Amino acid sequence: MDTLHRTAPFARPIKFLQFGEGNFLRAFIDWQIDLLNERTGLDAGVVVVRPTDRSTLPLLDAQGGLFTTLIRGLDDDGQPVREFRQVECVQRELDLNRHFDDYLAEARRPGLRFVVSNTTEAGIAVNDTDRYEDRPAASFPAKLTRWLHERWRHFGGTPESGVVLLPCELIDDNGPALKAAVQHFGRLWALEPGFSVWLDQACTFCSTLVDRIVTGYPADEIAALQDELGYSDQFLVTAEHFYLFVIQGPGWLADELKLAGAGLNIKLVDDIRPYKQRKVGVLNGGHTVMVPVALLAGVDSVGAAMTDAQISAFLVDTLEQEIMPSLPLPREELAPFAAAVLRRFRNPYIHHRLESIALNSWAKFAARVLPQLLTYQARQGALPARLVLALAATVRLYRGDRIALSDDAAHLEWFAAAWADVDADRLTRQELARRVLAREALWGRDLNEIPGFTAALGAALASIDEAGMRGALHRLDTPQTAAEPA
């Protein structure tokens, strides 16, 4: 079987420098650039930089930068869709241990306008050990600072030589965080004051929100897929149908990226925070409340949970009645997103094990669910019964008899000791609830101060133990188990 390779010379001008060759950027950023080239005439090529030393893996150059994406899932009508695409926008991949001079040469390219990165959440970090002379430096921000300084020096700091930076790392305010990291190395290396001025006046550091499940190389089905394609592709990457790219940046970016008429789910906004809250509250929060409930009900995957009438009804009701009313966006913004989330959870092409999502459940509940729980209580004057039950289910899951728990050691030790006291009749479930809510290091405050919370959580724990998880779900709508303030 022939291997996918480029037969015609690369003709598009290089406009993007991309830090990261992994599955996500290829199935998210490069896929979108390719569609913009096709639909709106963006006419942009990409040079990929491998930010870490993994020279044993082949470069995209082995296929001339070409690779195939397989996008599949449920469309807006809930119908299964799957689509192959040969992505053609990548021209070259640079391994900095071998191509450092070529890397600096890209800084001297006049038409290069955008810098994209996805170097994991830990990627935007600084140190005091990277040096200007390193070829390359160890950290991503140091590598980037060296490149930006080369560009500033070559073009004399002209406004036209500035670039737009679109970090895709999953941290809050990733744009300002990246700029601060670059400024750190500028100070550490005592670079010229004019370089800092150029960063401020000519370069635009945008915060972004990215959303797409990229499942990567389909090793277990690659033979059948390559038979269908008629060629082999060692860089084939699979991803879900849904995607969202939110950019907090100036309005002129829409013209530069040629977004008009593209039909892509790219939003250019003044404030990214409501979109982050929507994603964290609905998508991540939906996962977080569903996982312990489904696991205790004997369900092991997201797909199985969505085909389980009782579990899926619990999730839908939780989103519609408790989470969405507690988020700072109008319902017309939230409802379509929530519907898309439910379709994503039902995606028949993705097998997502609940046990893997349960990793670090306590930090997730505190970040993703507690804000909505507290907002609901403040607005409604009553506790959200389903979110309280999800919290109780998380406490019960950490008894450790359902799955192999994976969390911070301190959390695991705390719950092991607490459940040992319960099992030895040294602690009632009401007292366990009080202790859980009193953990200020986790919650940021003593949640026993919330009217009725201690009693509601204790009652939910008792309901799970008395009736099982499914029985507790059945009791949700009965007056005697409603989680209301005392």
Range scoring the smallest mean pLDDT among 17-21, 38-42, 118-122, 191-195: 118-122
d(CA 210, CA 230): 32
Is residue 239 in a domain?
A: yes
Which position has the higher pLDDT, 166 or 333? 166
Q: For residue 329, what pLDDT is reported?
A: 87
pLDDT for 486 equals 32
User: Are residues 139 and 278 part of one domain?
Assistant: no
For residue 314, give every residue at least 6 positions away whose Cβ sits within 8 Å of its Cβ, in sequence order, or none. Answer: 290, 293, 386, 473, 476
CA distances, 26 to each of 16, 54, 56, 211, 394 (Å): 13, 17, 19, 13, 35
Q: What is the pLDDT of residue 54?
A: 61
Asked if residue 336 and residue 437 are part of one domain, the reply reads: yes
Question: Beta-carbon neighbour count of residue 297 at 10 Å?
Answer: 19
252 and 309 together in one domain: no
3-class DSSP state for residue 370?
helix
| pLDDT of amino acid 227 | 97
Q: Is residue 6 in some structural domain?
A: no
Q: Spell out the alpha helix ranges (H) of 208-284.
A: 222-229, 253-256, 273-278
Query: Taking the CB of residue 88, how many other CB atoms lie within 10 A of it?
Result: 22
Q: Indicate if 285 and 384 belong to the same structural domain.
A: yes
CB 284, CB 302: distance < 8 Å: no
Domain limit, last residue, from 253, 269, 285: 269
> What CATH number is attached to the domain comprising 353?
1.10.1040.10
Average pLDDT over residues 237-266: 97
Mean pLDDT of 340-349: 95
Closest C-alpha among 87, 22, 31 to residue 49:
22
pLDDT tops 70 at residue 272: yes
Percent of the chain scoring above 90 in pLDDT: 90
Residue 3 domain-assigned (yes or no): no
- Side-chain-side CA neighbours of 423 within 13 Å: the count stands at 10
pLDDT at residue 484 tops 90: no
Mean predicted lDDT score pLDDT of the chain: 94
Q: What is the mean pLDDT of residues 453-463?
A: 97
53: phi then psi, degrees, rounded to nearest 5: -80, 95
- Which pLDDT does position 51 carry in this prediction? 79
Assess whether 247 and 124 both reside in one domain. yes
- Residue 109: C-alpha distances to residues 89, 134, 216 (Å): 17, 22, 32
Q: How confident is the model at residue 206 (pLDDT cuts 50, 70, 90)?
A: very high
Tell me if 2 is assigned to some domain.
no
Residue at a domain's end among 269, 304, 339: 269
92 and 215 housed in the same domain:
yes
The confidence score (pLDDT) of residue 103 equals: 98
Question: Which letter, b or e, does each residue of 91-127 get, where b requires 16 or more Cβ atoms within 10 Å of its Cβ?
Answer: bbbbbbeebbeebbebbeeeebbbbbbbbbeebbbbe
What confidence score (pLDDT) does residue 52 get? Answer: 76
Looking at residue 481, its pLDDT comes to 41
Q: What is the mean pLDDT of residues 231-252?
A: 97
Q: Which amino acid is at 464?
A: I
Binned at pLDDT 50, 70 and 90, residue 446 comes out as very high
Q: What digits encode the pLDDT tens for the residues 285-323?
A: 999 999 999 999 999 999 999 999 999 999 999 999 999
For 238, the 3-state DSSP assignment is strand
Residue 477 pLDDT greater than 90, yes or no: no
Domain termination residue (choose one: 212, 239, 269): 269
* Average pLDDT, integer, range 252-279: 96
CA–CA distance, 115 with 161 (Å, rounded to integer): 13
Tokens of 28: 């998210």
Say whether pLDDT at 276 is over 90.
Answer: yes
Tell me what the mean pLDDT of segment 420-429 comes to.
Answer: 96
What pLDDT score does 57 carry?
77
Segments forming the whole domain that contains residue 74: 14-269
- Predicted confidence at residue 328, as pLDDT, reads 86
Average pLDDT score over residue span 182-188 = 98
In this predicted structure, the answer to whether residue 267 has a pLDDT above a threshold of 50 is: yes
Omega before 136 within 30 of 0, i.e. cis: yes
Whether 264 and 291 share a structural domain = no
Q: Does 201 lie in the same domain as 150?
A: yes
- The mean pLDDT of 238-248, rounded to a whole number, is 97
**pLDDT at position 485:** 36
The number of folded domains in the chain is 2
